[in-house]
Amino acid sequence: MEPTLRDLGERGDVVKAINRALIERSEERALGSYVLHGEEALTPIVGRVIGKRLTDELGERIGLILDGVDGRVHHVALGEAARAEEAKIGAIIAIGPAPAGPRLADRNIAELARGTGEYRPSAHRTMAEAGGVRVPGGDQSHVRRLEALRRAGIVARIDADHWRIPDEFEARAAGYNVQRQGRITIRLLSTLDLEAQIGAEGATWLDRELASPRRKEALVEQGHAWRTPEGGIRAPKDLIGRLERQEIGRVGKSLEDRARLPFRMACESERITGVFTRTTQLVSGKYALIENAHEFTLVPWRPVMDERLGRQISGVFRASGISWDFERKRGLGIGI
């Protein structure tokens, strides 16, 4: 009976936490709209963070309470409290199941180690340069992955150009991912709550979802949309891009004193080269500040960039994203 009673007690604590979060917002929902996911999310969830609660005595694990766009209230338990740092109260986030199986880098390593039990970065680089295999991130990104797996006791480093890879490498690497990251992924969609997004000057989550009549009215007032003779509201097809560029230009100018450099807007198909110095959170999303000797620019941030903080970075700017060349040879770039 002990596990059953423990589960019932935990469920009761979660329900109380959801009730408190709703009461603080002067809201009320039927108990049947509560969805408790544990540490797994079998389907994607999008919603506003309305509460957080510690789920262990040490404060290392945390649960998020989301007011979902599906009209239900969700509670999701996270393996590490640090994973919820950016998910502030009021933020809009997306939660979904973590990708199953090994990473692409793990599959590449396993393929190149097949038959010998060894992975050699130099051989990987030679094959990539010859066009034999596609190497996202280049051989060095695979070495960094192996360093993490070495610390977990999964692989062994013989020397700088030789790594011993076990037969069950892919399965053990996938298990390491689950243990470290859990079975849930979190994506921050907006740091602003819904009320703040209505009048915001920038590309908000509401703009991308066209989810609020009040936001449409605000866009008309700001001159980004117009009323039709039939009484509807229309916006240009490139609305999101216009809002992003407007905010980037405004924030870039405001950062000039701090950066002690003039700001310049990045152009389509332009090569961006400089030092990745820091990030800044905009209404339109998280952006990276890239500095060179004469100026700086703001480009969309991606998690893969974090390992290059404070270092030289180069890539081609396009509307669909940036293709970064993280290695010395341009043929070993990673598109993000």
pLDDT digits (tens, 9 = 90+) for 127-177: 777 754 444 444 567 888 898 899 889 999 999 889 999 988 988 888 887
Q: What is the DSSP letter of 38?
A: T
**Same domain? 136 vs 272:** no
Mean pLDDT of 92-117: 84
**Same domain? 204 vs 298:** no
Give 328 or 40, the one with higher predicted confidence: 40
**Same domain? 247 vs 330:** yes
**Same domain? 300 vs 329:** yes
CA distance 71 to 18: 14
| 229 alpha carbon, distance to own chain's centre | 41
**Same domain? 242 vs 227:** no
What integer pLDDT is reported at residue 145 of this predicted model? 85
Mean pLDDT of 229-251: 92
CA distances to 231, 278, 293 from 273, in Å: 47, 15, 10
CB 293 within 8 A of CB 300: no
pLDDT digits (tens, 9 = 90+) for 21-36: 999 989 888 888 999 9
For the whole model, what pTM was predicted? 0.63
Confidence of residue 83 (pLDDT cuts 50, 70, 90): low
**Same domain? 221 vs 325:** no
CATH number for the domain that contains residue 45? 2.40.50
Domain count, the chain: 4
**Same domain? 165 vs 46:** no
Whole domain around residue 305: which residue ranges?
238-335
**Same domain? 247 vs 269:** yes
Residues 267-298: b if buried by 16+ CB within 10 A, e if exposed: eeeeebebbbeeeeebbbbebbbbbeeeebbb
pLDDT digits (tens, 9 = 90+) for 255-288: 999 999 999 999 888 899 999 999 999 999 999 9
**Same domain? 39 vs 87:** yes
Length of the chain: 336
Nearest Cα neighbor of 204 from 312, 292, 106, 90 is: 90
**Same domain? 61 vs 186:** yes
Q: Which of 191, 210, 225 is the last residue of a domain?
A: 191
CATH number for the domain that contains residue 135? 1.10.10
Return the ∠ at Cα 275 (arms to 137 and 142), rounded to 5°: 20
- Number of separate helices (H) and strands (E) present in the chain: 10, 17
Residue 114 clears pLDDT 80, i.e. is over it: yes
**Same domain? 205 vs 60:** no
**Same domain? 56 vs 186:** yes
